[in-house]
Amino acid sequence: MASSLTCTGVIWALLSLLCAAASCVGFFMPYWLLGTQMDKPVSFGTFRRCSYPVRDEEKQITVMLEQCGRYASFSGIPSLEWRICTVVTGVGCGLLLLVALTGLMGCCISDLISRTIGRVAGGIQFVGGLLIGSGCALYPLGWDSEEVKQTCSNSSDQFKLAWVGLQAVEAAESLQESLYPLNPTTSSPCPD
């Protein structure tokens, strides 16, 4: 089988697959937030939850069902922020998988990935990473939902970015702007 990728491209394809798989597993697992309710461990993901209260009609009491499952519907997800996080992170994972599988096919099929296709794939991969990062940043905004408050002894609240976080964002932006002149497409050619 001929490959359309260089050795570096093959390493990129394999690392892309590894990162896409790790992102998808992390997205699917319901262990983003841990707590206890009725002396039982409870965990939440963006669209899944482990251990939840159910009404036992025979005994007329509420008991904890210790199993993992999805919410019954999209609107059953506890907060708007978590619904947005589910969509944004899911789309990001889908984009990473698309690029990773295309890269793997490029390892086996000659002339599949050209320089332009490689750049487009890198751009798609970057957007996928941004979406996953945005989803992770949105997740703490849903900590003020009633389900989370019950699990965290009513001590949880919506995350608020403090001045230190804003300073970190400004520092990262300044660093990015300072690196812009080093980009080969913006640098002037070296004198002869």
pLDDT digits (tens), the chain, 192 positions: 567 778 888 888 899 999 999 999 989 888 888 888 888 888 888 888 888 788 888 888 888 888 888 888 999 898 999 999 999 999 999 999 999 999 999 888 888 888 888 889 889 998 999 999 889 888 888 888 888 887 777 666 666 555 555 566 667 666 655 654 544 433 344 344
Task: Give pLDDT, residue 156.
Answer: 65
- Strand order across the 33-37 sheet: 33-37, 40-44, 48-56, 61-70
- Which residues, other chains included, contact 128 with Cβ-Cβ below 8 Å and sequence gap of 6+? 91, 92, 93, 94, 95, 96, 99
Q: Tokens in use for 133?
A: 């990062």
- The rounded distance, in Å, linking the Cα atoms of 62 and 120 is 53
Q: What is the pLDDT of residue 92?
A: 94
Predicted pLDDT of residue 183: 40
Q: What was the pLDDT predicted at 62?
A: 83
The per-residue pLDDT for 143 is: 84
